[in-house]
Copies of this chain bind each other. A is one copy, B any other.
Amino acid sequence: MNVCVLMNPSNDECAAEILEVIPLVMRSIRTEMRRHRTPDLSVPQFRTLAFLRKNRGTSLSGVAEHIGITLPSASKIIDGLVLRKLATRCVSLSDRRHVALALTPLGSARLRAMRKRAKSSLTRMLQPLSAEDLVQIVSSMRRLRPVFALRTPDRAIPHRNTP
């Protein structure tokens, strides 16, 4: 019966698996990030820094949309990063309503260090898996990514415009 499911899972069965397993994985990631006692990066901070690295000069709206949070939330996260000298926030020259966000060298270094640590923690946890397992997982991550990457019809900027 399990085999049967595995051979031809419905969307719904797949959804059920995701709903059980993803939070487990996420908790592991979050715990690792909180692990060390130098106050490190939270998951949202980490994701924000990663976005800034790839999109230097982006606006607050850019961050909010990409991370999937509201503007006030994004503003607060940036507050924290600026306070900790990990990012800069300047008024945009072209349109003074915009802010221009960027990583500081310190932010860049912290991001690299954190990514390295999180990755190596995951790597360690993945030890027991076989090569075939890894192929499957990588492949499915690549299939999932576009599905959940931003701007899926119907739920873009999810929190802002829903009544």
Contact = CB atoms under 8 A, between A and B. Distances in A.
Interface of A: 5-29, 31, 34-35, 43, 47, 67-68, 115, 118-120, 122-123, 125-129, 131, 133-145, 147-150, 152, 155, 158-159, 162
Nearest to A20: B145
A22 to B, nearest CB: 5
Given A22-B25, A26-B26, A125 B148 contact: yes
A47 to B, nearest CB: 6
A141 B17 contact: yes
Q: Is the interface of A mostly helix, strand, loop or mixed?
A: helix
A14 to B, nearest CB: 5
Contacts of A67: 27
Given A68-B31, A115-B19, A158-B31, A25 B148 contact: yes
Contacts of A6: 135, 138-139, 142
Contact of A122 (B18, B29, B120): B18
Contacts of A126: 11, 14-15, 147
A9 B145 contact: no
A162 B35 contact: yes
A140 to B, nearest CB: 4
Contacts of A155: 28, 31
A139 B123 CA distance: 19
